[in-house]
Amino acid sequence: MNPTALTILIAYSAVTILALAAVLWIWKSTHSFDRDRKDEVDTHKLVEGEKGWFIFAVITLGILALATLAFIPYGDNAAAKGQQQVSVEGQQFAWVMNPGTIEAGTPVRFKVTAKDVNHGFGVYNDDNVMLFQIQAVPDSVSHIVYTFKVPGRYQVVCMEFCGVNHHNMIGQFQVEAAK
Ligand code: CUA
């Protein structure tokens, strides 16, 4: 099992276990096991508790937003000077890229479309790590800008089920060192 698959397995297992624990906890907290118990509901305490949870949620989401804002890739999609343009067309069951070679170190604008049905343009490096993906949609052109830092062989894998031969819809291209 490669490291990426292992990471995904561990992360998904952890989230599943946490979710099951939460479900169990909620179930337990809403079921009374003692039939004779007659609790007075302290609404004041509940209101105070709710305030606490609200503040907790706002702070947690705020921290998550601030911590991850810098990783949003959309800013990279702004027009960059001297960027390379590559047209990509997906069709059952192949990728056509023009031009087929790319230079490292300069932003590449991929203009992605599809000839027949929806496909997913997913680009992997030689270590099988996914770098980015974007939908390939008929009658529409999707843009994504990416800068390759390392020259070498890259793979294109279709990320959207598009027919019987979807799993074979794999392409590749070369990234050459900057001249
Ligand atoms: Cu094209 Cu799946």
> Is 162 a pocket residue for ligand 1 (Cβ < 6 Å)?
yes
The more confidently predicted of residues 81 and 145 is 145
Q: What pLDDT sits at residue 46?
A: 87
Q: What pLDDT sits at residue 115?
A: 94
Q: Is the pLDDT of residue 20 over 90?
A: yes
Place of tokens 């998904």: 12
| pLDDT per residue as tens digits for the range 131-165 | 999 999 999 999 998 999 999 999 999 999 999 99
Would you place residue 72 in the very low, low, confident or very high pLDDT band (cuts 50, 70, 90)? Answer: confident
> Is 161 a pocket residue for ligand 1 (Cβ < 6 Å)?
yes
Q: What is the mean pLDDT of residues 68-97?
A: 81
Q: Is the pLDDT of residue 76 over 70?
A: no
Output the residue whose Cα is nearest ligand 1's atom 1. Answer: 119
The more confidently predicted of residues 116 and 36 is 116
Contacts of 88 (CB under 8 A, 6+ apart): 95, 96, 97, 110, 111, 112, 113, 121, 136
Would you place residue 179 in the very low, low, confident or very high pLDDT band (cuts 50, 70, 90)? Answer: confident
Ligand 1 atom at minimal distance to the Cα of residue 169: 1
Q: Is the pLDDT of residue 38 over 70?
A: no
Contacts of 1 (CB under 8 A, 6+ apart): 9
Peptide bond preceding 121: is omega within 30 degrees of 0, i.e. cis? Answer: no
The more confidently predicted of residues 31 and 50 is 50
Q: What pLDDT sits at residue 106?
A: 87
> Is 118 a pocket residue for ligand 1 (Cβ < 6 Å)?
no
Q: Is the pLDDT of residue 83 over 90?
A: no
Q: Is the pLDDT of residue 5 over 70?
A: yes
> Is 112 a pocket residue for ligand 1 (Cβ < 6 Å)?
no
SS3 string of 54-100? HHHHHHHHHHHHHHHHHHCHHHHHCCCCCCEEEEEEEECCEEEEECC
| pLDDT per residue as tens digits for the range 95-106 | 999 888 899 988
Q: Is the pLDDT of residue 110 over 90?
A: yes
Burial of 134 (0-12, 13-18, 19+ CB in 10 A): middle
Parallel, antiparallel or unpaired: strands 84-91 and 142-147: unpaired
